[in-house]
A and B are shown apart, each in its own frame.
Chain A
Amino acid sequence: DADVTQTPRNRITKTGKRIMLECSQTKGHDRMYWYRQDPGLGLRLIYYSFDVKDINKGEISDGYSVSRQAQAKFSLSLESAIPNQTALYFCATSEGAIETQYFGPGTRLLVL
């Protein structure tokens, strides 16, 4: 079984709709991250969490919110989706600061 899973893998939604992307990990890591990937821009950090009670904004947090329900779960919400939030979204985990980040398979989101 995969160590980092994301659901859904693909999602099409309409402008203005609320949508939640979920991430689960079985690696036992405290740190979890949400990134989005756009062509030619690489990966950009949206939010990150260093433990269950910790939430931090990343580079591009506007329009997004997160919830760290448990050590193993970190969900990303788009309160009112807009077309420029169409992207590939990745969740990642790591054990500590200078440690490898392990990525989920990604969620492809299309906002019409």
Chain B
Amino acid sequence: SQELEQSPQSLIVQEGKNLTINCTSSKTLYGLYWYKQKYGEGLIFLMMLQKGGEEKSHEKITAKLDEKKQQSSLHITASQPSHAGIYLCGADGNTGKLIFGQGTTLQVKP
């Protein structure tokens, strides 16, 4: 079965610093989703990537899917306290079901 591994598991950065979260799949990704979750709350959809080499940006968050479609990265530029939360990658292994990584907890210190 397909598995997703996120790294790092947790991250503490100073406000204004850049950071990257990685998501690696054991199999080819047919759809890669990034979600953000505030502690104990629902998930907020950030971006979906489908094509090898695809890159999408929204405000200060950029997500990329590598050419082989087995790894994605989420990059935050000039982090702010509002970026704090848990970031989850989810993947569709062409079964119609999403599987998720274990999440990356981000803290941004003012």
- Do residues A97 and B96 form an inter-chain contact, with CB atoms below 8 A? yes
Complex Cα spacing A45 to B88, Å: 14
Q: Does B12 contact A (CB under 8 A)?
A: no
Q: What's the count of A-B pairs with C-beta under 8 Å?
A: 59
Which of A16-24, A66-74, A78-86, A102-110 lies at the interface? A102-110
Other-chain residue from B31, B35, B41, B100 in contact with A98 (beta carbon distance below 8 A): B31
- Do residues B42 and A98 form an inter-chain contact, with CB atoms below 8 A? no
Report the nearest A residue to B47, measured CB to CB. Answer: A100
Other-chain residue from A33, A97, A100, A104 in contact with B42 (beta carbon distance below 8 A): A104
- Do residues A43 and B90 form an inter-chain contact, with CB atoms below 8 A? yes
Q: How far is the CB of A51 from chain B (nearest CB, A)?
A: 12
Q: Does B61 contact A (CB under 8 A)?
A: no
Q: How far is the CB of A38 from chain B (nearest CB, A)?
A: 10
Complex Cα spacing A104 to B35, Å: 13
Q: Which residues of A contact B (CB under 8 A)?
A: 31, 33, 35, 40-45, 48, 50, 58-59, 88, 90, 92, 96-98, 100-106, 108
List 18 additional A-B contacts (Cβ < 8 Å) besides A43-B90, A100-B33: A33-B98, A42-B4, A42-B102, A43-B88, A43-B100, A45-B98, A45-B99, A50-B96, A58-B97, A59-B99, A90-B42, A90-B43, A96-B96, A98-B31, A102-B45, A103-B42, A106-B40, A106-B41
